[in-house]
Amino acid sequence: MQHGVISGDGSLRMRDQGFAPSRALIYLVVTLFAAAYLAPLVVVVLNSLRTDEEIAQSSMIGWPQHLAWGNYALAWSGFCVAETCAGIRPYMLNSALITIPATIFSTLLGAVAGYAVSLWRFRGDVWVYGIVTLGLFLPQQMRLLPWTIVLRDIGLINTLTGLVLIHTIQGLSFTVLFCRNYYIAIPHELIRAARVDGAGFFRIFWRIILPLSSPILIVTVIWQFTHIWNEFLYGVTFTTGQQQPVTAALIALSAAVADIPHHGVQSAAVIIAALPTLLIYLFGGRYFVRGLTAGAVK
């Protein structure tokens, strides 16, 4: 991006031709696309406020006749998922208890390792780093059976701790990559000078590197949180019943209500489950996008 970004009065953009109809067309097309992207969200939000009878009489797409806030109360703590009637609250709690520790551990360990790989250099670092980043590509399916066996052997199958462990270790592939690519731009002289002054590995990290790190730590935390919260395959494979994260519970919920539709309550449950990552996206969108592109361009 160091090349001239075309902006301001850049003479390129088609607008400068100055014919209005094409401008109107552009706005029309982007508005239509925006409507299409928003439609599913709007539909679910509206549905979450309609009663089941109302939805059954018409369709999933419609305006609430009166606001059925009760759907949210029911979805949160009253609804039955697979024989337990406590709503999705316990599963939200599970997701939080998996996501928050795993995000913190993988980010911290990734920051230290990224710092070591980029600024300290040690024997074998290129190899280890290369192998760790292969984790970005290795499909989860290749790790399903080994994780099952390992978790069973160490007694962590069907526990939240087991999922924290998995997400911490697997998340390292991303966090080490993000942090390493960020720290590599820090001048080595800074580290050398600090070492001459007698500062060790951790003191330099704490005093010099960490204060410079907030942008990349925010990117990493947002990325990890979103991914772990939204993860489904491991959740559904390694946990059952009351230990499941909310993504797995949503699937169980759909299965449970297949006979008698409760679309209003289900919509409320979907909104609640999606809310944490949506809020993070709304408030940290810039960092979210940076993580997205950093993960892609590698």
Partner 1 sequence: MTDVVSTATRPGQSATSEMLRRLPEFLMIWVPLLLSAAHLITFSIWTIWISFTPSTLVPVTGWVGLRNYTAVLASRNWQIAFDNLLLFGTAFVLFSLVTGLLLAILLDQRIRGENVLRTIFLYPLAVSFVVTGTVWSWLLNPGIGIEKLVHDLGWITFKFDWLVDRDMAIWTIVIAAIWQSSGFAMALFLAGLRSVDADIIKAAQIDGAGPVRTYWRVVLPTLWPITITVVVVQLQFAISAFDLVRALTNGGPGIATQLPALVVYDLMFQRSQLGRGAAAAVLMLLILLAVLLPYAAWRYLRRRQSAHA
User: Residues 86 to 125: which contact partner 1 by CB under 8 A?
Assistant: 109-110, 112-113, 116-117, 120, 122
Write the CA distances from 76 to 113, 134, 191, 225, 267, integer angstroms. 40, 39, 51, 21, 11
Exposed, middle or buried by CB within 10 Å (0-12, 13-18, 19+), for 179? buried
How far apart are alpha carbons 57 and 140 in whole angstroms?
42
Residue among 76 and 201 whose Cβ is closer to partner 1: 201
Determine the interface stretch with partner 1 among 58-66, 73-81, 83-91, 185-193 (rule: CB under 8 A): 58-66
Report the residue from 46, 76, 86, 143 that binds partner 1 according to the rule CB under 8 A: 143
Contact string (CB under 8 A) for partner 1, positions 242-261, x = contact = -----x--xx--x------x
Q: Which of 20, 21, 40, 185: binder of partner 1 (CB under 8 A)?
A: 40
- Which one of residues 50, 54, 55, 208 is an interface residue with partner 1 (CB under 8 A)? 55
The gap from C-alpha 277 to its chain's centroid, in whole angstroms, comes to 6
Closest to 101 in 3D by CA, of 173, 162, 183? 162
* Interaction residues for partner 1, span 66-85 (CB under 8 A): none
51 forms part of the interface with partner 1 (CB under 8 A): no
Q: Considering only residues 207-246, where is the footprint of partner 1 by CB under 8 A?
A: 226, 229-233, 237
Q: Which tokens hold the place of 295?
A: 């993960």
Tally helices (H) and strands (E) across the chain. 14, 0
20, 63, 66, 146: which one contacts partner 1 (CB under 8 A)?
A: 146
Query: Nearest distance from residue 67's CB to partner 1, in Å?
Result: 20
Backbone Cα Rg of the chain: 24
Residue whose entry in the numeric block shows the structure tokens 């997701």: 95
Residues in the chain: 298
* Cα–Cα dist 43/116, whole Å: 48
- Least CB distance from residue 86 to partner 1, whole Å? 20
* 20 forms part of the interface with partner 1 (CB under 8 A): no
- Shortest Å distance, C-beta 271 to partner 1: 9
Q: To the nearest whole angstrom, how small is the minimum distance from the Cβ of residue 186 to partner 1?
A: 17
Q: Which residues within the stretch 150-179 sit at the binding site for partner 1 (CB under 8 A)?
A: 169-170, 172-173, 176
The first and second tokens of residue 285, run together, are 């969108």
